[in-house]
Amino acid sequence: MSNRSSIDGIIERSRAYNCVQCAKCSSVCPLSGVDESFSPRLIAEKILLGFDEILYEKGLWTCLTCGACDDKCPSDVDYRGFIRELRGKSRQREEVWKCAHGGVLQSLMRMMSDSALKQDRVGWITGDMKVADKGEILFFVGCLPYFDIIFEDFGVKSTDIAGSAVKIFNHLGVTPVVMQDERCCGHDLLWSGDTENFMRLAKNNLKQIKKTGAVKVVTSCPECYRTLKLDYAEYFGEQDFEVLHFSEYLSDSINRGELVFNEACRLNGRVTYQDPCRLGRHLGVYEQPRDVLGSIPGACLGELELNRDRAVCCGSSCWINCGQSSKEIQKRKLEEAKSIADLLVTACPKCQIHLKCAMGDLEGMDMDVVDLTVLAARALGYLV
C-alpha cells in the first residue's frame, strides 16, 4: 500500500470516487461485450476499495481507452484518464504489461526518445513531391515509416498515407514542412504509463517544430492529433501552433472551393467509415471525414450501426492489447462492414493495420480497407 497516496490522487483527478457501480460502462464497453471477465466499473471498484492487486492484472492493460464508457458515465468519471494514470503505477512491475508484437513498437519509440538517434525516416518522399524544411504548414508524419517495416508482411504501406498527403498539399499549391528528424509523438508510451519517455519525445518534437516556424501542424494520424493537440498542451502549456487532422484540412479546403475531386476518378461503390476513437470520441471530429467522403464522386456512404460517438473501437490500441477479444471485435466489425459496403475507409493508420491483420487471421473476411487520405489522393487522380 506504499503508493496508495498517489493512487488516491488518481482517484481524485479522474473523479472515480463518484462511481456508483451502475454498470452503464460495461453495457457499452466493446471489450465487455466480448470478454465476460472485463468490467470497467469493477476495476474502479477494486481500486476504490484498496484491492491494489488489480494494478497487476491484465484488465488494466486490455482496456482500449476508447472512451465509450466515459460518454455514458452518469457520474462524470474520466475513465480513460483513470486507466492511463493507473498504468503508470502498474508499469512498476514489468511482468504485467506484455505488449503485442513482443513490445518491438514500444522499444522503437523509446529508442526515438534518445535525441542523439539518427533516423532515415523520409525515404518515402519521391521526386514528384515537394517538401520544405521551413514554412507555415507542417505535415507531422508520425510512425508511418516504422510501420512499413514491421507490417510489411500483410501488405499495408502506411507511408502511402504520407505520400498522399504531401501530393494533396502540393495539389493545393502548398509545400509542407516534413521534418527530417521527427520523433514518435509519444502517444503509445503515454497511454502505457511511460510518462518519462513521452516527455522526452514531446520535448524533442516541440523543439523541432519551433525551428520550422510552422503555425499549422497537420497530421493524418488521430493519435498524433490527440497527443499534439491535448497532451502537449497539458504537459507543456498551450502551444503557438494550431493542430489539425488531415480530414479537417481536407474538409476546409473543400468548403473553400479550393479542392475539387476529379469526376474522371469516380469511385463506384458503397463505402463505410470507421470512426477512430481518438479522432471521434476524444476530440469530437465526426463530420469532416464524412464531408470529404461525401464530396468524392460516386462514393455512396453507408453507416455502421454504431457510428460517431457510439462507434466501436477497432479492437486494439497503443500496440498493447491484441488477443481473442481484439479479434472478435474486429471480426464483428468486418462482418458488418462487408454486409453494407465494398470499401471500408478509416482515418487512422492503426485502425487500418489492425483490420488488415484481422483479415489475414480470419477466413472469408477480405475486403478493401483504405485510408481517407489515400482515397482522397486517388480521387484527385494520383496513383497511390
Partner 1 sequence: MNKEKKNEEKEELRIGVYVCDCGSNIAGVVDCAAVAREIEKLDDVVIVRENKYTCSDSGQEEIKKDIKKHKLNRVVVASCSPRLHEPTFRKCVESAGLNRYLFEMANIREHCSWVHPKNPTEATEKAKDLTKMAVAKARKLKPLPKIQSPVINEALVVGGGVAGIQAALDLADMGFKTYLVEKEPSIGGHMAALDKTFPTIDCSICILGPKMSDAGNHPNIELLTYSEIESVEGYIGNFKVKVRKKARYITDECNGCGECWKVCPVITKNEFDLGLGPRKAIYIPFPQAVPLKATIDMNACIECGLCEEVCEREGAIDFKQEDEIIELNVGTIIVATGFTDYDPSGEYGYGEYDNVLTGMDYERLINAAGPTLGNVTRKDGKKPKSIAWIQCVGSRNKDNTHCSNVCCMYAMKEAMQIKEKYPDTEVYIFYIDIRAFGKDFEEFYKRLMNKGVRFIRGVPAEIKETPEKNLKIVVENTILGRVCEYEVEMVVLSTGIMPNTDAQEMQRKLNISRTADGFFMEAHPKLRPVDTPTDGIYLAGCSQGPKDIPNSVSQAKGAAASAAIPMIRGVVEPDSTIASVDLDKCTNCALCAKYCPYNAIVHEKNKPLKIIEAACKGCGTCAAICPVGAMEQEGFTDAQLISEIEAVLEENPEEKILAFLCNWCSYAGADTAGISRFEYPPNVRIIKYMCSGRASARLVDKAFELNAGMVLVSGCHIGDCHYIDGNYSCEERMDKYRKTLEAKAIDPRRFHVEWFSAAEGGEFAEYMKELEDMRKKLQEEGKLTPWKKKAKKKP
Binding site for partner 1 (CB under 8 A): 20-28, 32-33, 36, 39, 41-42, 72, 74-76, 310
The three three-digit cell numbers of residue 104, written as one number: 518491438
- Looking at beta carbons only, is 46 or 338 nearer to partner 1? 46
* Residue 292 backbone dihedrals phi, psi, to 5 degrees: -65, -50
* Residue 88 backbone dihedrals phi, psi, to 5 degrees: -60, -40
- Looking at beta carbons only, is 21 or 180 nearer to partner 1? 21
How many CB atoms lie under 10 A from the CB of residue 374?
A: 24
Residues 6+ apart with CB under 8 A from 314: 274, 276, 329, 330, 333, 346, 348, 350, 351, 354, 355
What's the closest the beta carbon of residue 267 comes to partner 1, in angstroms?
32
- What DSSP designation does 154 have? G
- What DSSP designation does 132 have? B
What's the closest the beta carbon of residue 87 comes to partner 1, in angstroms?
22
Given 3-state DSSP classes, what are the helix, strand and coil percentages for the chain, each rounded to the nearest 5? Answer: 50, 10, 40
Locus of grid cell 504509463: 193
CB 340 within 8 A of CB 333: no
Instruction: List the beta bridge partners of residue 59.
Output: none
- Looking at beta carbons only, is 42 or 105 nearer to partner 1? 42
Pairwise CA distance, residues 261 & 358, whole Å? 32
- Looking at beta carbons only, is 6 or 21 nearer to partner 1? 21
What's the closest the beta carbon of residue 336 comes to partner 1, in angstroms?
14
- Looking at beta carbons only, is 33 or 103 nearer to partner 1? 33
- Looking at beta carbons only, is 22 or 215 nearer to partner 1? 22
Pairwise CA distance, residues 235 & 233, whole Å? 6
* Residues 58-62: contacts with CB under 8 Å, at least 24 apart: 58/96, 60/86, 60/87, 60/90, 60/96, 61/87, 61/90, 61/96, 61/97, 61/192, 61/320, 61/321, 62/31, 62/35, 62/38, 62/320, 62/321, 62/323, 62/325
What's the closest the beta carbon of residue 4 comes to partner 1, in angstroms?
19
What's the closest the beta carbon of residue 341 comes to partner 1, in angstroms?
21
Instruction: List the beta bridge partners of residue 273.
Output: 345
What's the closest the beta carbon of residue 211 comes to partner 1, in angstroms?
33
- Looking at beta carbons only, is 28 or 224 nearer to partner 1? 28
What's the closest the beta carbon of residue 274 comes to partner 1, in angstroms?
20
How many CB atoms lie under 10 A from the CB of residue 196?
A: 12
Instruction: List the beta bridge partners of residue 274.
Output: 346
What's the closest the beta carbon of residue 37 comes to partner 1, in angstroms?
8
Q: What angle do CA 121, 100, 355 make, to 5 degrees?
A: 75
- Looking at beta carbons only, is 268 or 324 nearer to partner 1? 324
What's the closest the beta carbon of residue 153 comes to partner 1, in angstroms?
35
- Looking at beta carbons only, is 129 or 340 nearer to partner 1? 340
Mapping DSSP to helix (H, G, I), strand (E, B) and coil, where does residue 211 land? helix
What's the closest the beta carbon of residue 275 comes to partner 1, in angstroms?
17
- Looking at beta carbons only, is 26 or 239 nearer to partner 1? 26
